[in-house]
Amino acid sequence: MRLFLLILMLLPSVSEAYELPARAREILDSRTALPGPNCWNSALYGAGLVNGLRHVTGDEFTAWISSPLCREVPEAEAAGGDIVAFRRSTIEGKLVDGPYGSEIHAFLLVSPNEAFTKNGAVATYEFRLQDLVSLREQYEKANRSECRMLDFPRSHCALKAQYFRCESSAVSVPEALFSVTLATAALEARLHRLYTGVGGEAADPAKLENAKVEIRARVSVIEQELAKAVSGGGLEGSGHEWKAEVLRQRLRSAGAFTF
């Protein structure tokens, strides 16, 4: 018991380890007006990689942490502000694809024993702080349940934690992607207003349905513009290909509604 108490005393407190970004503090313990914003959104938003509350697919999350903006760090070197991804893997550590790729859950590390998380897309689920032990147990259970549903062998149902340190500084945009990037950012700002209840659309079923139709139409137009930009050949070998992939996944997220 004394050794356990000593270890707890030596662990840095939340304030000593990492101060949550202002944007994360502002939404802490809050809920969204509509279902959609989820764990992948809260982790990316808290880390400064995305600029609004919205739905994020597992594929978009994968695109971000696989980009040059993020690098994996060993668990022993993880620090406050790092993104932690719970991913399905074999017992040897090889990632296993499921409905959301290999992604199971993600959160922002606050201290060695606490996370900033949103545990699902349900509107009543809050952006919250949670201890890592209970969070790990929660998603171990969820992973086992989903594995049974998918009829995966137990050897392909391990829960692997990977730690990523990401840079949220401004990224240069190639000319070929400039207009598409601006249009996507404007669309995501529209989604942020919708999910946070600005304008009252979330409370009006007719307005909400119109908003979904409008947003999906806009997504289709921007996706066509992106396809033209990529097919134009200006990105090949430029080192900007990952930016096009992130944009592609952001647009797919924008058109995916859970209500």
- Out of 135, 166, 197, pick the residue that ends a domain: 166
Same domain for 132 and 207, yes or no, is no
* Residue 7: predicted pLDDT: 37
Q: What is the CATH number of the domain that holds 56?
A: 3.90.1720
Q: Say how many domains are in the chain.
A: 2
* Residue 217: predicted pLDDT: 98
Closest CA to 102 of 82, 122, 83, 85: 85
Q: Is the pTM of this model over 0.95?
A: no
Q: Could you tell me if residue 200 is inside a domain?
A: yes
Domain with 89, as residue range(s), is 12-166
Q: Could you tell me if residue 92 is inside a domain?
A: yes
Same domain for 140 and 234, yes or no, is no
* Residue 1: predicted pLDDT: 46
Same domain for 119 and 46, yes or no, is yes
* Residue 106: predicted pLDDT: 98
Maximum Cα–Cα distance across the chain: 66
Residues of the chain with pLDDT under 50: 1-16
- Out of 166, 198, 224, pick the residue that ends a domain: 166
Q: Could you tell me if residue 3 is inside a domain?
A: no
Residues 6+ apart with CB under 8 A from 148: none
* Residue 234: predicted pLDDT: 73
Same domain for 248 and 141, yes or no, is no
